[in-house]
Amino acid sequence: MKKKKVLFICSVGGHLTQMLQLKSIFDNYNYLLVTEKTDVTKDLKEKYNVKFFKYCNGKNFIKYFFINVINAFNSIFTFIKFRPDVIVSTGANTSVPMCYLGRLFGKKVIFIESFAKSRGKTLSGKLVYPIASTFIVQWESMLEYYPKAVYFGGIY
């Protein structure tokens, strides 16, 4: 039986740490892990099928804006080349364009809201919630903010 193609996408830092908690299921799928390239992530190539996007932070708005535009185009090319059946994301900025692209083409989008948020919404959560096939929260209190979400507890 042909394995589903799953694209796991997230920014570096806590988002990537949370995504790697799912690594035990990676091999159940034809998967691609997409994250930002930094000194911390460069060794991921040794363990995972990974593609890197440019790293950006919000310290310089103009640079941040242009890198996000570049990453949005990278999302298009990556989506066309990999052709995922499902997109799984833990956020943040790197993943939002990919989630929208996937939804535009009728793919399932699974978004896992950050464990760090037990009150209030993240920006990527606000943006992806309306289009997510499944929206997962890691704190029961988050159901107040995302009433259609699913609560499974923490992924740690």
How far is the CA of 1 from the CAs of 4, 28, 29, 85, in angstroms? 9, 12, 11, 15
pLDDT at residue 56, rounded to an integer: 82
Give the whole-angstrom CA distance, residue 155 versus residue 136: 10
In sequence order, what are the residues at sequence separation of 6 or more whose Cβ sits closer than 8 angstroms to the Cβ of residue 52?
34, 35, 36, 37, 41
Q: What is the pTM of this model?
A: 0.94
Task: Give the pLDDT score at 135.
Answer: 98
Domain ranges of the chain: 5-151
Is the separation of the CB atoms in 102 and 84 below 8 Å?
A: yes
Compute how many other C-beta atoms are within 10 angstroms of the C-beta atom of residue 87: 29
pLDDT truncated to tens, each residue of the chain (156 aa)? 789 999 999 999 999 999 999 999 999 999 999 999 999 999 999 999 999 999 987 788 898 889 989 999 999 999 999 999 999 999 988 899 999 999 999 999 999 999 999 999 999 999 999 999 999 999 999 999 999 999 999 987
- What pLDDT does 90 receive? 97
Determine the pLDDT at residue 89. 98
* The architecture CATH gives domain 5-151: 3-Layer(aba) Sandwich (3.40)
